[in-house]
Amino acid sequence: MQWLLNLPTVLWRRLLLILQGLWALLWLIASGIGALFGSGGTIASRLGAAIGGAAGQRHVFALLRLLQPNLVLNRRTILAYPNNGITAIASRHADVTDILTRDADFGVVYAPRMEAITAGENFFLGMQDSPRYTRDTSNMRLVVRRDDVPAIITPYVTRAAAGVVAIVPGAIDVPQALTQPVAAGLLDQYFGTPGPSEAAIAEWTTLLFWYLFIDLQADPDLDARATAAAARFREWMDGHIAERRAAPPKDDVLGRCLAMGDAGLPGMTDRDIRNNLIGLLIGELPTLSATANLALDELLDRPQPFAAACAAARAGDDATLAAHVFEALRFRPLNPIVYRRAMHDTVIAGGKLRRRRIVKDSIVMASNLSAMFDPLVIPDATAFRIDRPWETYMLWGYGMHACFGAHINRAVLPALLKPLLAQPNLRRASGARGQIDQAGTPFPQHFHLEFDL
Ligand code: HEM
């Protein structure tokens, strides 16, 4: 009987799936025509820009969810990590979450590049489900404590972001003046690992994040730059750990690591501490800075939500402000996909019409962006709404390897943006300066905004 009661909802959601897919098809056809007759660059580059952008990706995935929810391509999409040259792309919420929780079937690929960065050792993001993974994440959770988020991290970010906005004269280059310095400041004040300078730590962590996660085509030039940055990073960390050992104890992340090392805890030699902190630092700086800029850019493109977010910032309504930031990121996550490698021959969506066989060593791309727009699971998926349950958001992975910094991200991103959003008449600077400039990197490097004084 229950199935009969559920039937209208099921049918309605299926209809939405079809409508979303058809609308996406029309959008993509219109973009193709636009690229054919547009100006500037080649047809391919114009098409790439339209489809590769955030809206384009959402439409491609809407079509995939309808027509090919688990698309298998005989195509090598990743050269940076070993695989068999086959790539599967999963776009439905049910399959994305299934893939990212089946750790024995779909393993992380990052170990070789993690080992290159540390000159020998893996870091837990590159580890399969194993005793070593549990040991290392447990050690790091003892030093990066959830209690620290309200006690240390949010107060620091609130203070630092307000300090920056208070001294800029009605014009700000957001990544350079706000998001990068505050994220770097957190590495100094909370982690106890400032790097030799803000510029150096920003450059190293950005290059190494790029190398690990984004350089899918294995660019030899990037490889050389990342190798050099990793060597300098290791050398600085070794020296810094030695200095800290000689100095009076301090209660920050590094200080807690050193205390655990002194107590002889397994996995906490100075070398282990160095490698774990390198992994955490790479995860912290470029991601927080980039994600804050993406949220801001997405909000600026939506006048009504932008005005509401600014009003919430001014009124000190943190919950409403945060809801706007995370809903903006649903449309614009930093990582739209999470990739894995099949550990053995297996299947996706077993027992369903969309079932696909996956051969050992295939790359499997699970699109968290697509999952967050799947009308079979997410109500009113294409609308910008601030009343969604937190579980809707798959902004930093899912399953065992979901972001170690998840609680930090949730607190830091709104706190980082709040003082800026509270400024009167906040707007983009005119022309290209008011758009995100990645300056040849995968991350926002310049983004000029203005406000009234
Ligand atoms: C908004 C900013 C951030 C974004 C978008 C982000 C994104 C992600 C994603 C997508 C994953 C999963 C990767 C995978 O499953 O293959 C991940 C894992 C991870 N992130 Fe973040 N991250 C952010 C901030 C941080 C911060 C602040 C830290 C450090 C405190 C951090 C440290 C890590 C670590 C260590 C992992 C591996 C977790 C594991 O393997 O268990 N991230 N992050």
Ligand 1 midpoint to CA 414 (Å):
17
Instruction: Give the span between the Cα atoms of 435 and 430, in whole angstroms.
Output: 9
232-284 pLDDT, tens digit each:
999 999 999 999 999 999 999 999 999 999 999 999 999 999 999 999 999 99
Whether residue 1 has pLDDT greater than 80: no
State the closest ligand 1 atom to the C-alpha of 402, by its place in the atom list counted from 1: 12
79 and 228 housed in the same domain: yes
Whether 126 and 80 have beta carbons less than 8 Å apart is answered as no
Helices (H) and strands (E) in the chain, counts: 18, 10
Tell me the pLDDT of the chain averaged across its residues: 97
Nearest alpha carbon, ligand 1 atom 32: 283
Residue 81 belongs to a domain with what CATH number? 1.10.630.10
Query: Given 13, 34, 67, which residue is the final one in a domain?
Result: 67
Ligand 1 midpoint to CA 50 (Å):
28
**291 within ligand 1 shell (Cβ under 6 A):** yes
Query: Given 11, 40, 67, which residue is the final one in a domain?
Result: 67
Tokens of 62: 């809407």
In this predicted structure, what is the pLDDT of residue 77?
Answer: 96
Tokens of 291: 């994600």
State the closest ligand 1 atom to the C-alpha of 409, by its place in the atom list counted from 1: 1
Instruction: Give the span between the Cα atoms of 350 and 98, in whole angstroms.
Output: 11
Ligand 1 midpoint to CA 58 (Å):
22
**200 within ligand 1 shell (Cβ under 6 A):** no
Whether 446 and 175 have beta carbons less than 8 Å apart is answered as yes
- Domains in the chain, number: 2
Instruction: Give the span between the Cα atoms of 246 and 371, in whole angstroms.
Output: 50
**408 within ligand 1 shell (Cβ under 6 A):** yes
40 and 79 housed in the same domain: no
pLDDT > 90: percent of the chain: 94
Nearest alpha carbon, ligand 1 atom 30: 405
In this predicted structure, what is the pLDDT of residue 40?
Answer: 80
Nearest alpha carbon, ligand 1 atom 40: 125
For residue 330, the enclosing domain spans 68-450
135 and 89 housed in the same domain: yes
pTM above 0.85, yes or no: yes
**284 within ligand 1 shell (Cβ under 6 A):** yes
**396 within ligand 1 shell (Cβ under 6 A):** yes
333 and 436 housed in the same domain: yes
411-438 pLDDT, tens digit each:
999 999 999 999 999 999 999 999 999 9
**367 within ligand 1 shell (Cβ under 6 A):** no
Q: How confident is the model at residue 3 (pLDDT cuts 50, 70, 90)?
A: confident
Q: How confident is the model at residue 114 (pLDDT cuts 50, 70, 90)?
A: very high
**398 within ligand 1 shell (Cβ under 6 A):** no
170 and 230 housed in the same domain: yes
255 and 147 housed in the same domain: yes
**412 within ligand 1 shell (Cβ under 6 A):** no
| Continuous H helices in 332-405 | 368-371
In this predicted structure, what is the pLDDT of residue 185?
Answer: 98
